[in-house]
Amino acid sequence: MDSPSVEHLFIITGTTRGIGRALADQALALGDSFVVGFSRVDVFLEGNYQNIHVDLNAIETIGAAFDAIGLDSEIAGGLKKTVLINNAGVLDPIAPIIDCDTEALAGNIRVNLTAPMLLAHHFYRFSKAFPGKKCIVNITSGASKSPYFGWSAYGAAKAGLDMATRSMALEFSRIDPAFHVCAVAPGTVDTDMQAQIRKCTPEQFERVDKFMDLKANSALSTPRQTAVDLVRLIVEGRLENGGRYDLREMKG
């Protein structure tokens, strides 16, 4: 670690690319952060960054990932805020439920719902003795509130994550008010997931034309701008316990 003057610890899942990578970059740009990336591949970033190999589909490995974080006691004792961003997610399978691959269906629920809940569990045990505030940010989606043909697994997992967020927020408000949990929907962002959507047939996903139009009309947010906005809200303490936010409505 380059400097003992660390005030923020960020643990971010899915830092290989897209929003997760941009979040890691933006957190490091604060200049007073230590950033831990949980990803399936090795990611090397300059500064106070540690990459830990984690496959969130193998949920039994999540606890060991927290054990591998290299944070010494001197640094931990000076923290003002410790943050977990449950960003990693998968869209597959994209198909009507009757056509879904069953293992992909189970994997979707593991990565999008079970893993974030287990990460929250281990995050509490990892950080409860640290000073300052702790914040869990679950990345959600508009699909948690509206059904999409072909997204039964993804929509159900994100709806479950929204309820898990509310339930955990209630629990922490009574058990340990230093912990806040919220959900943030980033909107439509130009990521690999969007590219995957645009490759679908109408038989797989009825609204594929809408997503193709968003790309053609340059109506997608960039991962960098999404990360700038979200990190700012976290650092400024504008995300309340139990809240569900649309990032597009939180600018400025």
Question: Which active-site residues does the annotation give?
Answer: 154
Contact indicator for 179, 121 with CB cutoff of 8 Å = no
For residues 134 and 249, give the distance between their C-alpha atoms in angstroms, rounded to a whole number: 24
Largest CA distance in the chain: 56
Mark out the alpha helices in the chain (DSSP H runs): 18-29, 62-67, 73-77, 102-109, 115-127, 152-175, 192-198, 208-216, 223-236
Instruction: Count the neighbouring beta carbons within 10 Å of the beta carbon of residue 91.
Output: 20
User: What value does the CA radius of gyration of the chain take, rounded to a whole number of Å?
Assistant: 18
Contact indicator for 186, 230 with CB cutoff of 8 Å = yes
Residue whose token pair is 């974030």: 116
Q: Do you know the residue count of the chain?
A: 252
Residue whose token pair is 């927290």: 66
Q: Report the SS3 class of residue 206.
A: coil
Contact indicator for 42, 53 with CB cutoff of 8 Å = yes
For residues 112 and 140, give the distance between their C-alpha atoms in angstroms, rounded to a whole number: 9
